[in-house]
Amino acid sequence: MLSKKKSFCNSDYLRGICSRPLDRESEPVSNFPLGYYEFFLQEIERLGVEVITYKDLFEGSSDWDYESRYPQEYENWKKSKSDSEKIHLLIQHDVDNHPFFTKRMVAMEALYGIKSNIFIFCERYSKSASDVSYDIDHDFFVEAQKHGFVIGYHQNAFALSGFDMSEAVERYRKDVYYLREIYDIQFVVPHGGAGSFINGKKMLNVDVPMPEEFRKNLRWVFNRYGVRFDQKWSDGGLRKTRDKKRVRGFNLIKFLHKLKKGSRNFCLVHPQRWGFNIDVNQNPLLAKEEWYKDICMSY
């Protein structure tokens, strides 16, 4: 439990977490300036966009049909929760690496009264035994949950089980039970990550079936199965993609400004991509984009 000084009600404490480090090169490299994300939050506030969580979507819902993308939930939204005068946006964070970056981003969101959905590993997988650090400040994220943020399970059971599918199901089960000792885990999102061939077919974390005992108490909400949205944005695959149209689409503010009233939208932000030590050359196509050059210079 956090002390009063280290509380989500203490704006100085939150500002301290998301402040610029004395030596920006002391932190891992990232792709976007954190200041650009703060501008995104400011624009959400200016435009009156209503930010929602998965708990908001499924409040009072009995729809567990993730394989059909929750048709009852969507119909209920249109009938009783949708508003033709409002733009709704759900922000999701997949914490693939450097959990401190997520802590910093969540502190910034809290300063603006914005609540996001945070998906964490039980344990991080890495091909290199020397590269598995995944130090999470559980006290901080428990406090975030108390203030309306949603903490979910980022499922990487296939990789952690040595790419053995039967072992992966058991690992999935153990991970959820472990995380539920700390958080109110109601939602799961599989990690992309590494895969392996089984009987000639490439298998990934998304291929791990949900254990039967979770089908009525855990909702699969993104990646292969998920909730329905009108527009989606993601910074996933940023380093590898060489699709010019997709690279131009990484402009988060442009995405926000295109959203229409009456719509329900989705934004996937990987916090480890947002920081102060920016490497502008990780994607050569992105490095040529004028809007990207501008934000790197501005922030």
Q: Does residue 165 fall inside a structural domain?
A: no
Q: H/E element holding 151?
A: strand 150-155
Q: Which of these, 285, 267, 278, 292, lies nearest to 43 by C-alpha position?
A: 267
Does residue 206 sit within a domain? Answer: no
Q: Is residue 214 part of a domain?
A: no
Q: Residue 260 domain-assigned?
A: yes
Does residue 268 lie within any of the structural domains?
yes
Of 59, 95, 93, give the one whose Cα is nearest residue 76: 59
pTM over 0.75, yes/no: yes
Q: How do 196-198 and 201-203 pair as beta strands?
A: antiparallel
Residue 199 lies in a domain: no
- DSSP character at residue 41: H
Per-residue pLDDT of the chain (299 residues; tens, 9 = 90+): 666 677 898 999 999 999 999 898 999 999 999 999 999 999 999 999 999 999 999 999 999 999 999 999 999 999 999 999 999 999 999 999 999 999 999 999 999 999 999 999 999 998 765 455 899 999 999 999 999 999 999 999 999 999 999 999 999 999 999 999 999 999 999 999 889 999 899 999 999 999 999 999 999 999 999 999 999 999 998 888 888 888 999 999 999 999 999 999 999 999 999 999 999 999 999 999 999 999 999 99
| Cα–Cα distance, 92 to 150 (Å, whole number) | 9
CB atoms within 10 A of CB 150: 24
Query: Does some domain include residue 62?
Result: yes
- Asked if residue 244 lies in contact with residue 286, where contact means CB atoms within 8 angstroms, the answer is no
Work out how many domains the chain is built from and give that number.
1
In a domain, 125, yes or no: yes
Range of the domain at 35: 11-142+228-298
